[in-house]
Every structure is written in structure tokens, then in C-alpha cells.
A and B are shown apart, each in its own frame.
Chain A
């Protein structure tokens, strides 16, 4: 269970302050698939970064079980991410000088996961293990980043517009891999998107509007990556 309460976050200095998150509270149950939906600039990424421990809020708390990560030292927070969190970003952020295999090992080694090749196979890249990111298509690169995040065996996976840079076909393929792995491993999943259709894959949909939660809804049935519109 992740309990988030009264998160406030601003950028800029006193004279020119831009409050991006205006007191957000949310509960996320273990194993849930949550989508944060909202227009560009509504503060979704900032919120994701705060609850995943990449950024500190100005005030408010983010409690995993009984562990309030906003109170942790940098060292402890790093340790927390190492033990619990996986990330997938819109721009992939693969390491350009490393092969697919080494990129995946970057995640796997943190969890002492020797069976990282299974994860490469799971996203269908067994043929590409020796390739460099620049030799892969966008969809393939994002699949590497999926494998990298999950080889780490995270308890919570955070995704920021994972299909934002992909076309329909490869986008669906990546989402399909992700939701398949979600069913198999049962981690908690929080995904940011501005795409209404993708929200239909989720269990819980949190609509954000200029730094606040506008609406929380629960989907009774979840669609697959090939059933949603695009």
C-alpha cells in the first residue's frame, strides 16, 4: 500500500513561483494498475517523480507500508529505489555504449538476478542481445527498457508515457509486453499518459488537472493492448 498525502511541489523562486502540485492525496493498493491521466503540463510527471522517490516534495508524505520516503536521507532513498522501484520513460534512456544485454544487466545486477536472459526473451529480443541501442528501432529500444526495469524485480513499476514516442503498432506491442509481465509478476504499476484510450487498460484511473486530482474512477473490465483504440 502506498499512501500519499497532501503533496505540494513548486518550482522557481519566491518572486516567480509555479506551484505544480497543489496538495494531492492518493492511496494505491498493492498489485494495482493505476493510470495517471491528464493534459500536458498538468503535473503528472512531477507527481510520478515525487511518489517514486526521484524528487522531494515541498510538503506532504509518501508512505510505502510504514516507510515515509520523504523523510529518508539521500543514501537511504537510493537504497529504497534500488530495492523497490523500476522505471520506464518515454525517451528510453538506455545506455548508448552498452549492448542490450548489458543494459538489462544494469537492472538485473541490482537484484542479483542471474536469470536476466529470461526477461530479454520475454520481450522478444533474444536475437538482439549483442546489439547497441542505436542499432534498434524505437519499439525495440523501449522493450529493452521494459526488460531492464523488470529484471530488477521491482515491487512498484513507474512508467512515464512509455508509448509517447512510438507508433500505434509498436506502442501496442510494448503495452502488451508490459501488461503480460504485470499479470505474471503482480507488481504494482503506476503509468502516466495523456492518452484516454490507454487508460482503459488500467484498473484505477486518476484524472489530473493543473496540479490536482479531478476524478478517480475504477474500470470494471480492463481492455488489452489490442482492444483499446489509439
Chain B
């Protein structure tokens, strides 16, 4: 005889997030991967270098040692921290989005008597994407480490340094982030789910019921739509700004790096920067378009031109991306200036570093071209939205 399976349990498991859902979190995966890649390179090197400190005898060698150890710490902290922060924001955004779009199913579960915590527990799988990303980043870093070591020691100021595996570092860079993100996912999901069942069932968004000011009340529809698109998804504002920030900072920094340190470092920097920039831009714009599909479809039904739709939905992000670009420019300038003046102060024949206006302008033009191209792609996507498919849902 077949054993009866507990009904609630199987139903619940099917309805709440599964591993398949987390595979959509490629953005987090890539960003976590980049963060771990960079951190592994510099931290593993630092540990291995520190082990040979006693064997460094020359004064130039000692100066280089100090400089490299500090650079490693700065780079790992700044880029690792930056990327970790982005993954956190992205994770929270995904969870909020997931709960908003599945609020009916989740509401039904709650109506059946599941506690918020019980449902939220299933969200731990979101940590998996971080885990996978970290493992990938770590493995890739190890593949690259031998060349990186050779590069760092190109002037042979240190004895030869061998790549060593450090278990504690692996745990710190893979285990800890995966666990922290899983716990974070559960806690945040629990927080978001602690709404009245009826609100979830009615797919009620949390609107701040403020009285609209006089001028916003008289805003034409398209302007109001542009405003509310931005306001409804603040995380996306962050991502778009971050994308521009990455592009601006990483491209300009790697151009300067080419003079300051090595070509390989520059290439690595620019690759990571571009991956991050485009990844976040694609993710955020896809999510803008997806989140507004119904709105756009209805506007098209009523006879709004697709150009008006895409301008209203996507246009608001343009100034934000410019701001991100400006912040990135300042950031990379300050960072490099600090590195040159403080970290490398004792190293001989470091070239002077000054702000390169021409390069900034070129980067900006490239940025505008890339950005507008991506925007054009998305506005074509809006053009092709099928009215019927939306209405049949």
C-alpha cells in the first residue's frame, strides 16, 4: 500500500521557491563571482607573500612589499565591499519582487495556516546562487593566480612565491557569504511576508498614502508614469546608477592603471567593470520592462505610440545614469590619487598622476553610446510586446 504523503507539506514545497527560481539570479551569481575573484587574488597573494616576508632583504623589496600588501587590502575591501553591497541590494530586490509577483500563492499558503517564518524558510535557496557564484569566482581566481603572482613579482624584488591553498580563506570567501546570504534571504522574506493575508491575496502594494502635492496632481499622465516608475522601484535606481558608476570608474581607472601598474591588471579591471556594468543594466532594465508590461500593453491598446511608452518607462533612468557616471569619475580619481600618494609614496619612479580630462570625455562618449544602444534594444522590446498575450494571462 502507498503511504500517504502529508498533503500540506508537498503542496507547500511546490508552491514556494524552488531551486529553479534561484537560477534566475544570474546577476547575483556574477557579481558575487567577481567579488570573490578579486578578493581571492589579492588576499591569497597577501597571505602567501606575508609568509615569505622574512626573506625579503632589499630596501626596495620592503617598500614594494608594504605597497602591495596595502594595495591588496584596499582593493579587496573597496571592490569586495562594493560588490557585496550590490549583491545584498540585488538579493533583497529579487525577494521583494518574487513576493510581489507571487503574492497570491503566498497569500493562499498563509490563509491555509502556514506561518510567515515557515514560508520564509524556503527562501534559503536564494543563498545557493551566491554559493555557486563564489565557487566559480574562487576557482577562476585559482586558475589565474600563477600569472597574477608572476605579475606582482615581475621585478623579482621577492623570492619566488608559490600559490598555496588556504582553507580558512576558502571558507571566508565561499562559506561565509553563502550562509550570510541565506540567512538574510530568510529574514527579509519573513519581514515581507508579515503582512495581512488579505493584502497578499489582493496583491496590494504598499503605497505611502500621502496626499499628493498640488503640482504632482496636475502632472500629465506620461510624466506621472515616468515618476512613479522610478519611485516604485528604488532598488533599480541604485542599480542603474551603479552600472554607470562601474563603467565610468573601472574604465577610467584601468586606463590610468595601464600607466601606473601593468597592462594585465588594466585588462582585468576593465573586464570586470564592463561585465558588472552591463549585467546590472540589463537586469534592471529587463525588470523595468517586465514590471510594466501590463501598463505598456494597456497604453498601446489605447493608442499610445511605443516611443511614448518607452520614453515614459525608461527615460527617467537617463539622468540617474549620468549621476552614476559622475560619481564613478570622482571615485576613481580619489582612489588612484590616494593610492599614488599614500600607498606608493616610498616606491621610486612612480609616474605622476593627474586627472585626465580627455580620457574622461572619451569614456563618457563611449558610455552614452553603449547606454543608448541598450536603451534602443529595450524600446524595441517594448514595441514587440504582444497585446493579446498580456490580456490572455
Contacts of B232 in A (CB 8 A): 97
Pairwise interchain contact A132-B303, C-beta atoms closer than 8 A: no
Bound CA–CA A91/B301 (angstroms):
14
Is A172 at the interface (CB under 8 A from chain B)? no
Instruction: Tell me the complex Cα distance, A79–B387, Å.
Output: 16
A160 and chain B: residue at smallest CB distance = B391
Q: Determine whether the beta carbon of A96 is less than 8 Å from that of B224.
A: no
A45 to B14, CA, bound (A): 34
Contact yes or no, A79 B224, CB < 8 A? no
Q: Say whether, besides A78-B303, A97-B228, A132-B207, A109 and B294 are in contact (CB < 8 Å).
A: no
How far apart sit A23 and B294, CA to CA, in the bound complex (Å)? 31
Minimum CB distance partner of B231 in chain A: A97
> Which residues of chain B are within 8 angstroms of A25 by Cβ–Cβ distance?
none
| A110-B295 CB under 8 A given contacts A98-B228, A102-B221 | no
* Contact of B220 with A by CB under 8 A: yes
Q: Which of A34-42, A80-88, A217-225 contacts B (4 or more CB under 8 A)?
A: A80-88
Interface of B is mostly: helix
Q: Is the CB of B220 within 8 A of A79?
A: no
Chain A: which residue is nearest B386 at the CB level?
A55
Q: What is the total number of residues of chain B having a CB less than 8 Å from a CB of chain A? A: 30
Residues of chain A with a CB closer than 8 A to B211's CB: 130
**A24 contacts partner chain B, Cβ-Cβ < 8 Å:** no
Q: How far is the CA of A17 from the CA of B300 in the complex (A)?
A: 28
Q: Cβ of A152 and Cβ of B220 under 8 Å apart?
A: no
Q: How far is the CA of A82 from the CA of B302 in the complex (A)?
A: 6
Task: Return chain B residues, CB-CB under 8 Å to A10.
Answer: none
A164-207 residues with Cβ-Cβ distance < 8 A to B are: none
Q: How far is the CA of A25 from the CA of B205 in the complex (A)?
A: 45
Check if B301 sits within 8 Å of A54, measured CB to CB.
yes
A95 and B222 CA atoms in complex are apart in Å by: 12
Bound: A46/B222 CA distance, A: 30
B220 to A109, Cβ gap below 8 A?
yes
In the complex, what residues of A have CB within 8 A of residue B204's CB? Answer: 134-135
> Which residues in window 338-393 of B have CB below 8 A to A?
387-388, 391
Q: Name B212-242 residues within 8 Å CB distance of A.
A: 212, 217, 220-222, 224-225, 228-229, 232
Q: Would you list 12 pairs from A and B whose C-beta atoms are within 8 A, ordered by A residue?
A: A54-B301, A54-B388, A78-B304, A93-B391, A102-B224, A102-B228, A105-B220, A105-B221, A105-B224, A109-B220, A134-B203, A134-B204
- B interface residue numbers (CB < 8 A to A): 202-205, 207, 211-212, 217, 220-222, 224-225, 228-229, 232, 294-295, 298-306, 387-388, 391
- Which A residues are closer than 8 A to B by beta carbons? 49, 54-55, 75, 78-83, 85-87, 89, 91, 93, 95-99, 101-102, 105-110, 130, 132, 134-135, 152
